[in-house]
Amino acid sequence: DQQVKQNSPSLSVQEGRISILNCDYTNSMFDYFLWYKKYPAEGPTFLISISSIKDKNEDGRFTVFLNKSAKHLSLHIVPSQPGDSAVYFCAASANTGNQFYFGTGTSLTVIP
């Protein structure tokens, strides 16, 4: 059973506009969340994280929002750039466990 879900397999956004990638989870024990970016033939690269004591974390053009009651997090990229085109994975973990649970990814295309 998929504990972390990314329901949009793909997203296209115009350069300069905002990209919003969504992620839902089912396990209420999850307390640490990350976003990874992946280019073809490369491993995922860490982008940004958030712990459950916060509801927002910002790093440059990237902001992650966490809504614990809805078990939902989102990644906002603004402004979007063509180099942001990649597959984005969200991942979650609980401090009682040893593994991250990944979503299936959203392929973002930023159109110049």
What is the Cβ-side half-sphere exposure of residue 63, based on CA atoms within 13 angstroms? Answer: 12
Site mask for other proteins (CB under 8 A), range 1-40, x = bound: ---x-x-------------------------x-x-x----
Under the binding rule (CB under 8 A), the answer on residue 82 touching other proteins is: no
Q: How far is 93 from 33, CA to CA, in rounded Å?
A: 7
Distance CA 13, CA 32 (A): 28
Which residues here bind other proteins, judged by CB under 8 A? 4, 6, 32, 34, 36, 41-46, 49, 89, 91, 93-95, 97-105
